[in-house]
Amino acid sequence: MQKSLLFFLLLCFVAVFQQACFKDVPHGNLPSGQVAITFDDASVDNWFENLELLDSLKIKATFYVSAYHTFTTEQKHRLKTIESHGHEIAYHTATHPDLVKEVNKDGLAQTEFKEIISDLSLLKRDGYTITNFAYPYGSHSNQLDNCLLRRFNSVRALSNHQDYYKSLVKESGTRKVLYGANIDNNSRLKDDRILSLMDKAREHNDCLVLVAHQINKPSLHLQISKERLLLLSRAAAERNISFVTINQIAR
């Protein structure tokens, strides 16, 4: 009798201990498969129009914003509303150049001032806590990574058809170089391959990082259709995979 009571108490202790451990995503292995959908550039009006769609699909996303200095007051208000729905606002330069070419032309210090410090300080002044960065065109170098990882918890480049598995993040933590897989409808990644990457994320408790631009705008190349977003949402639910923002893994 006493033995079974002791065994029961031990099981309770293990259960409580596990819950405490997994309350926060620990550094090291992630607790379960996750997907981080990210949207790049300055399409705040389009993103705002599709907020209800994202909410209805239970998608929390990360928006890497460029050209903030060109935003109107209304667009700034819309970006705040996007953040208030639980999405992350992250950074994507002031004028969206190829940063490697900029550094070759103007040097690292001037590029950092012109493309990073400028609009980042405007965003901070408007109350944003920005901790993550995405490279325009995915163009980066070790020199840029080292420089920007002093300022951001992660920098995001792109994976391609030869190395989509680089988009599966194994662990949380800071000083991370992430590789997003492009899932705009014109990308080489078709529905079946996106689903197989989600299977891998579930099997290995990884976080799959995906990249898109505008939402549900069939006239554009760089857009993800409503149908593809629905597919992702359904596939995540079927696999018990949660949508996370980049600041949930890059910490």
Separation CA 99–CA 107 (nearest Å):
10
Least distance to Zn ion, CB of residue 180, Å: 11
Any contact of residue 115 with Zn ion (CB under 5 A)?
Answer: no
Separation CA 242–CA 205 (nearest Å):
11
Any contact of residue 119 with Zn ion (CB under 5 A)?
Answer: no
Residue 29 sits at φ, ψ, to 5 deg, of -65, 140
Conformational region of residue 41, where left means phi above 0, alpha means psi within -120 to 50, and beta covers everything else: left
Any contact of residue 180 with Zn ion (CB under 5 A)?
Answer: no
Least distance to Zn ion, CB of residue 62, Å: 13
Least distance to Zn ion, CB of residue 216, Å: 18
In this structure, are residues 61 and 38 in contact, taking their beta carbons and an 8 Å threshold? yes
- Count residues near Zn ion (CB under 5 A): 3
In this structure, are residues 104 and 78 in contact, taking their beta carbons and an 8 Å threshold? no
- What would the x/- binding string for Zn ion be over residues 134 to 173, using CB under 5 A? --x-------------------------------------
Closer CB to Zn ion, 41 or 102, in the complex: 41
Separation CA 251–CA 248 (nearest Å):
7
Closer CB to Zn ion, 59 or 65, in the complex: 65
Out of 30, 35, 41, 68, point to the residue binding Zn ion (CB under 5 A).
41
Binding site for Zn ion (CB under 5 A): 40-41, 136
